[in-house]
Amino acid sequence: MYQYTQDDQTLIDERVAQFRGQTERFLKGELDADQFRALRLMNGLYIQTHAPMLRVAGPYGLLSSRQLRKLAEIARNYDKGYCHFTTRQNIQYNWPKLEEVPDILAELAEVQMHAIQTSGNCMRNTTTDPLSGVCKDEIEDPRPYCEIIRQWTTLHPEFAFLPRKFKIAVSGALHDRAATQFHDIGLHLVKNDAGEVGFKVFVGGGLGRTPVIGQVIRPFLEKKHLLSYLEAIVRIYNLFGRRDNKYKARIKILVKEEGLDKVAELVEQEWQSNKDSLELSNERIESIKAQFAPPDHETSADLDGSFHKRLQENPAFATWVQQNTVDHRVPGYRAAFISLKAPDAPPGDITDTQLDLVADLADRFSFGEVRSTHRQNLVLTDVKQTDLFTLWQELGAAKLATPNIGTATDIICCPGLDFCSLANAGSIGITREINQALDDLDYLHDLGDIKINISGCMNGCAHQSVGHIGILGVDKKGEEWYQITLGGSSENEAAIGDRLGPAVAKDQITRAIQDILDVYIKQRQEDESFLNTVKRVGITPFKEQVYANH
């Protein structure tokens, strides 16, 4: 993975010093609440219902074991012994003390981490496919470009006060595992007719109150123009994005109101006048790429027979392998997901001891690295098949081996009413209920690939609008109700879910989800997935079932 140079380190150290000064000025009353707000947000610090919340950047989801141990230490010493992985591959602490945040940032800086631009109206952490570099459907590893973008966006002097937040995601594979079409800018590495690899550029995607699918602004961008083109888009956005209404300030609204053609034309003009000054040299691309060279895989890892024997002898192990691991580019290796969706734990949460364990397992079995995923799990990307059994046992002992990756209990869920002042309804409790209702593993696995996303209000932190099943908390005369949508997807065939009908009461929501799953089982043809079934039969059969019973 990318190792900091002296300059990288200096920059984050200086940032810590700057933030320490800002915090002191605020505590002395020299900065008012609004002024400090803008500055602390740029350092990932929110003030929530119960306490401040600190969001730490996980650059494109890649973390070393040393960094994990530091995250564990911070959870232990400054928080309540746990932290939370977000849908944008970042890490959140829910109970830090404001006065201690500068110290936390200083500790993070010791392991090349920071909270820069994890919040605020600026360019945020760039996210990517957690299987980058190991998946079989990859055109090119996106991580070097993510790192190039990370550097370019970090403390960009011109774009620190944009109309609104700005998120970039990059995918290098055929299958989009990074929700790129729901980002302000989505980049797909693609090959053109001449066989050259470049970027297909999407613009104007986003979730939240107004979910919008990104549109292609440029079908093929040469790699050397990556930064100049990004700069052109962001400059046009900075100058012309709306600032009169924060709900209309994202670039998706600019694209919607002005039209893609108009925005593309402005970007093109801007780009033409600046494209040569920011050209990426081949040497620079190659030198960053070298930092993401594949680890030393053994060439005969697939010859080992013990793995197959274990699979036959131990059905529970076989189930886990089937559900929580995926094929690897190198024969004899697999990528093993670590489920942060145990039935009784809030999705995405991880304790300090679990973090320490994952760090050890990463060192022993996966070249000392771990990735966080868009669906709030972790993955060890380079595990030899011989090691999977021990890995499974040790993960299992720590409740990290629930075999539910990609299933209906691999739920994305926001903090909801339990922790969030903006919430209309609880979401963690609903997740727990759904887990209890779906505790039969055979049934769960038979249901197959189903993505349920639950947000406690229309801000949509858990991306309910792109869940195969989306659940949105609404407030009805002070009571918690839930709006259901079906058929959303954040993958290649991006789609926003359709509303099933009127919202459902809290004591009915889990029953409604079970009804929906029953209809799917009845309607599906052979191996048809949930999403394809919904596409084929439409929402009517689901609607009839859900509202017939209530």
In the block, residue with structure tokens 């809290």: 506
Q: Shortest Cβ distance from residue 247 to ligand SF4 (Å)?
A: 13
- CA 13 to CA 178: how far, in whole Å? 30
Binding-site size for other proteins (CB under 8 A) equals: 34
Sign of the dihedral defined by the CA atoms of residues 13, 15, 19, 22, in that order: positive
**Residue 416 touching ligand SF4 (CB under 6 A):** yes
Asked if 95 and 384 count as a contact pair (C-beta separation under 8 A), the reply is no
Q: Are 189 and 170 in contact (CB under 8 A)?
A: yes
Of 150-158, 197-205, 321-329, 365-373: span binding other proteins (CB under 8 A): 150-158
Amino acid at 186: G
Question: What is the spatial order of strands in the sheet that 62-64 belongs to?
Answer: 62-64, 369-372, 378-384, 333-338, 325-327
Among ligand SF4, other proteins, ligand HEM, none, the one that 92 touches (CB under a kind-dependent 5 to 8 A) is: ligand HEM
Interface residue with other proteins among 77, 273, 282, 549 (CB under 8 A) is: 273
H helices of 186-314, where? 226-240, 251-258, 260-274, 282-290, 306-313
- Given the rule CB under 8 A, which of 156-164, 182-190, 355-363, 459-467 is the region that contacts other proteins? 156-164
Torsion from C-alpha of 499, 501, 505, 508, nearest 10 degrees: -90
Distances (CA, A) of 221 to 186, 189, 192, 288: 12, 9, 10, 19
Neighbours of 315 (CB within 10 A): 9
Q: Minimum CB separation from ligand HEM for residue 152, in Å?
A: 21
- The interface with other proteins within residues 227-246 (CB under 8 A) comprises 227, 235, 238-239, 243
Which span (164-172, 189-197, 328-336, 411-419) binds ligand SF4, by CB under 6 A? 411-419
Site string for other proteins, 101-130 (x = CB under 8 A): --------------------x---------
Q: Are 5 and 151 in contact (CB under 8 A)?
A: no
Q: Is 202 in the site for ligand HEM (CB under 6 A)?
A: no
Closest distance of CB 144 from other proteins, Å: 15
For ligand SF4, the closer CB: 44 or 456: 456
Is residue 112 a contact partner of residue 25, using CB atoms and an 8 Å limit?
Answer: no
Q: Nearer Cβ to ligand HEM, position 199 or 419?
A: 419
The footprint of ligand SF4 on this chain (CB under 6 A) covers a number of residues equal to 12
Closest CA to 153 of 216, 59, 246: 59
What is the CB neighbour count within 10 angstroms for residue 203?
24
> Which residue lies nearer to other proteins by CB, 141 or 231?
231
Q: Measured from the CB atom, is 353 or 459 closer to ligand HEM?
A: 459
Q: Binding to ligand HEM by residue 414, rule CB under 6 A?
A: yes
Q: Site map for ligand SF4, 228-257, x if CB under 6 A?
A: ------------------------------
d(CA 358, CA 368): 10
Residue (of 520, 543, 540) closest to 532 by Cα position: 520
Site residues for ligand HEM, 29-68, by CB under 6 A, read 48, 53
Phi then psi for residue 31, to 5 deg, are -115, 135
Within 45-64, the residues that bind ligand SF4 by CB under 6 A are: none
Rank residues 53 and 338 by Cβ distance to ligand HEM and give the closer one: 53
Q: Which residue lies nearer to ligand HEM by CB, 346 or 368?
A: 346
Which one of ligand SF4, ligand HEM, other proteins, none interacts with residue 208, CB within 5 to 8 A by kind?
ligand HEM
CB atoms within 10 A of CB 496: 18
Q: Which stretch binds other proteins (CB under 8 A): 155-163, 168-176, 400-408, 410-418?
A: 155-163
Question: How far lies 38's CA from each of 12, 26, 46, 430, in Å?
Answer: 19, 12, 10, 34
Cα–Cα distance, 18 to 26 (Å, whole number): 12
Toward ligand HEM, which CB reaches closer, 91 or 146? 91
Q: Which of residues 431-460 bind ligand SF4 (CB under 6 A)?
A: 455-457, 459-460
Decide whether 11 or 474 has the Cβ nearer to ligand SF4: 474
| Stretch of residues binding ligand HEM (CB under 6 A), selected from 95-103, 142-150, 293-301, 455-463 | 455-463
Closest C-alpha among 229, 254, 231, 232 to residue 241: 254
Q: Least separation, in Å, of the C-beta of 11 and other proteins?
A: 5
As to burial, measured by CB atoms within 10 angstroms (0-12 exposed, 13-18 middle, 19+ buried), residue 329 is middle
Per CB under 6 A, does 459 bind ligand HEM? yes
* Intra-chain end-to-end CA distance of the chain, in Å: 53
Our CA angle for 409, 415, 419, nearest 5°, is 145
Tell whether residue 423 is a contact of ligand SF4 (CB under 6 A).
yes
Q: Closer to other proteins by CB, 2 or 482: give it.
A: 2
CB of 117 to ligand SF4, least distance (A): 19
Nearer CB in complex with ligand SF4: 133/416: 416
Q: Which is nearer to ligand HEM, 191 or 209 (CB)?
A: 209
Q: At what angle do helices 260-274 and 251-258 cross, to 10 degrees?
A: 110
Using alpha carbons, list the distances in angstroms from residue 133 to 140, 264, 330: 8, 32, 11
Q: Is 88 in the site for ligand HEM (CB under 6 A)?
A: yes
Q: Segment 455-474, which members bind ligand SF4 (CB under 6 A)?
A: 455-457, 459-461
Binding region for ligand SF4 (CB under 6 A): 414-416, 420, 422-423, 455-457, 459-461
Binding region for ligand HEM (CB under 6 A): 48, 53, 84, 86-88, 92, 165, 206-209, 414-415, 419-420, 422, 459-462
Binding region for other proteins (CB under 8 A): 7, 10-11, 14-15, 18, 22, 30-31, 35, 38-39, 121, 151-152, 154-163, 227, 235, 238-239, 243, 273-274, 277-278
